């Protein structure tokens, strides 16, 4: 098993990418601490892992709240005594397509607080408890590489995740704590459901080399690679998982 005896926190673990990755990690031997703002979603993930023979618990956590993130880390240590992997994945979409002057302060703050401050807080509290060989994977997006029109706050937040990942990877390389990011393209999750009803969808969903959208399982396999010892000489990188969207 590729994550035998490892302990992983999965934030946004009640969402589609988080849930499938948590399940994949558990199949490979990791004990999982699921963190999400939605208790119902946390319970669903934990039950699925347990039904599959894996080990999982949850802590309802708002990743924008420092006290709650500190509590998440402490509860993980209380339950499992260590933290080997942090999948820093909780995030929100842009909250509707708008040109920049129409983005409200409320919308801007929600996206920035969740997508970048949440990633900062996850690392801030987990890293001091991590030992040599640990791995952090932060969820960015191809929007953070190409700068996507009409979703400026989202693009800015995900671009920040990439820069933060690089910076922190340099700070903790000597301790052999690896810090990488993933940049998914369009993945079939609840985050893209609203697009499916728009007239853009046929074009949007095939705008890559593979002519289809990705699945949470395909993201989970890439995250598993970065989390595992197979990626032991990879740090500060952003792994693009987009079916070739950025190459078009």
How near is the Cβ of 132 to ligand NAD at its closest, in Å? 27
41 binds ligand NAD (CB under 6 A): yes
Question: Considering the rule CB under 6 A, would residue 242 count as an interface residue with ligand NAD?
Answer: no
| Position among 8, 31, 76, 89 found at the interface with ligand NAD (CB under 6 A) | 89
Chain residues 125-154 in contact with ligand NAD, contact rule CB under 6 A:
139, 141
Q: Find the shortest distance in angstroms from Cβ 35 to ligand NAD.
A: 6
Alpha-carbon Rg for the chain, nearest whole angstrom, is 17
Nearer to ligand NAD, 62 or 84 (CB): 62
Smaller CB separation from ligand NAD, 169 or 238: 238
Q: Is 80 a catalytic residue?
A: no
Smallest gap, in angstroms, from Cβ of residue 41 to ligand NAD?
5
22 binds ligand NAD (CB under 6 A): no
Q: Binding residues for ligand NAD, per CB under 6 A? A: 11-12, 14-18, 36-38, 41, 61-64, 89-92, 114, 118, 139, 141, 184, 186-187, 189-192
Residues belonging to the active site = 154
């Amino acid at each position: 098993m590729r994550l035998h005896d490892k302990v992983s926190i999965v934030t946004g673990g009640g969402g589609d990418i988080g849930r499938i990755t948590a399940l994949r990690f558990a199949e490979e031997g990791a004990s999982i601490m699921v963190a999400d703002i939605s208790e119902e979603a946390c319970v669903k993930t934990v039950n699925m892992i347990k039904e599959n023979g894996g080990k999982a618990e949850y802590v309802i956590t708002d990743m924008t709240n420092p006290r709650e993130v500190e509590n998440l880390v402490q509860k993980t240590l209380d339950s499992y005594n260590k933290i080997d992997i942090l999948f820093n994945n909780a995030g929100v979409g842009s909250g509707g397509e708008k040109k920049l002057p129409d983005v409200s302060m409320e919308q801007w703050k929600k996206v920035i607080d969740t997508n970048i401050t949440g990633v900062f807080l996850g690392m801030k509290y987990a890293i001091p408890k991590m030992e040599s060989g640990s791995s952090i994977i932060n969820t960015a997006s191809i929007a953070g590489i190409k700068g996507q029109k009409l979703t400026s706050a989202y693009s800015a937040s995900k671009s920040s995740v990439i820069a933060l990942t690089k910076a922190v990877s340099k700070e903790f390389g000597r301790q052999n704590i690896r810090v990488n990011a993933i940049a998914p393209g369009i993945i079939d999750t609840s985050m893209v459901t609203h697009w499916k009803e728009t007239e853009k969808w046929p074009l949007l969903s095939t705008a890559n080399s593979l002519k289809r959208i990705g699945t949470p399982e395909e993201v989970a396999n890439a995250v598993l690679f970065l989390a595992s010892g197979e990626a032991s000489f990879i740090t500060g990188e952003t792994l693009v998982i987009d079916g070739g969207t950025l190459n078009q």
